[in-house]
Amino acid sequence: MVRVEIPEVEKRAITGEAIPVNVVYEDDVLLVVDKPAGMVVHPAPGNWSGTLVNALLGRGGPLSSEGEPERAGMVHRLDKETSGLLVVAKTDRAHRLLSAAIADRRVVRRYAAVTWGHLSADAMTIDKPIARDPRDRKRMAIVNKGRPAKTDVIRLARFDAGDLLRAHLHSGRTHQIRVHLASIGHPVMGDDVYGGGGGRRVAGLPPKRHFLHAAWLAFKHPVSGKQLDFRSPLPEDLARALAVISGEHALPTGVDPLTALHFYE
């Protein structure tokens, strides 16, 4: 005889918290947030407070109710230690239209990443399916029967220890850029999960921080149709790390390194 006791699903009321949010754009139907590294996007077991959703609820105003309450307003998300731009829906209609635009690849999402080692070409496309790692459910992996995933990468600068890349997402799988780059032998610097966590002193990175930043977000407004274009300069911790990584290849001072290295072109 086998007896199984299934525990009840843990549910908690999601409450607003007085956490500062860097809102770079807002209107009646959406807002764009520049998320810092270290902040989880939405509540889940192990992170029921201190998330971006808690912060948005705390500042007041409507959020779309598509999906679960703990994901209020969230059209897409960023990993905890990934900084940068993401769009939040304030109405259900905007949420549906923005989700459709992402699915149809009409939303431009470009990330700055520094990887260990040097790519074999200045530009390449990584087209490999991604799913949960069958040996570790907390990780993602390249799995033949996984969901299709495609990432374009362009090398913007080559340093002694690695490359600065612009990564463009065609799909939005969990950990996609990190998994894809690790799969070709060039993990993101500082990525403890996918093999890039060593050599922090060489990279000048603080603990628990990987070099991945959602720097460029562009899309048509879901209601007005106006083209929106948002750019986030490298945060201070990554700018300092890039100065260390560049070594003798001195970067210009007084200007965002991404602008100087032609990221937005």
Regarding beta strands 108-116 and 83-89, do their DSSP bridges make them parallel or antiparallel, or are they unpaired? unpaired
The CATH architecture that domain 12-104 belongs to is 2-Layer Sandwich (3.30)
Q: Quote the CA–CA distance of 214 and 19 in Å, as a whole number.
A: 21
Q: What is the CA radius of gyration of the chain?
A: 19
Catalytic residue among 34, 79, 163, 191: 79
Same-fold call for 12-104 versus 109-217+236-265 = yes
Question: Helix or strand or coil: residue 5?
Answer: coil
Q: Is the pTM of this model over 0.95?
A: no
Per-residue confidence (pLDDT) for residue 200, from 0 to 100: 84
Per-residue confidence (pLDDT) for residue 13, from 0 to 100: 80
Enumerate the β-bridge partners of residue 74. 88
Per-residue confidence (pLDDT) for residue 10, from 0 to 100: 66
HEC per residue, 54-83:
HHHHHHCCCCCCCCCHHHCCECCCCCCCCE
Per-residue confidence (pLDDT) for residue 73, from 0 to 100: 93
Pick the CATH number of 109-217+236-265 from 3.30.2350.10, 3.40.430.10, 3.20.20.140, 3.30.70.3450: 3.30.2350.10
Domain ranges in the chain?
12-104, 109-217+236-265
Residue 190 Rama label (left phi>0; alpha psi -120 to 50; beta): left
Is 92 assigned a catalytic role? Answer: no
The tens-digit pLDDT sequence of the chain (265 residues) is 999 998 876 667 888 999 999 999 999 999 999 999 999 999 887 778 899 999 999 999 999 998 788 899 999 999 999 999 999 999 999 999 999 999 999 999 999 999 999 999 999 999 999 999 999 988 999 999 999 999 999 999 999 999 999 999 998 899 999 999 999 999 999 999 999 998 888 889 999 899 999 999 999 999 999 999 999 999 999 999 999 998 866 677 778 999 999 999 9
Per-residue confidence (pLDDT) for residue 253, from 0 to 100: 76
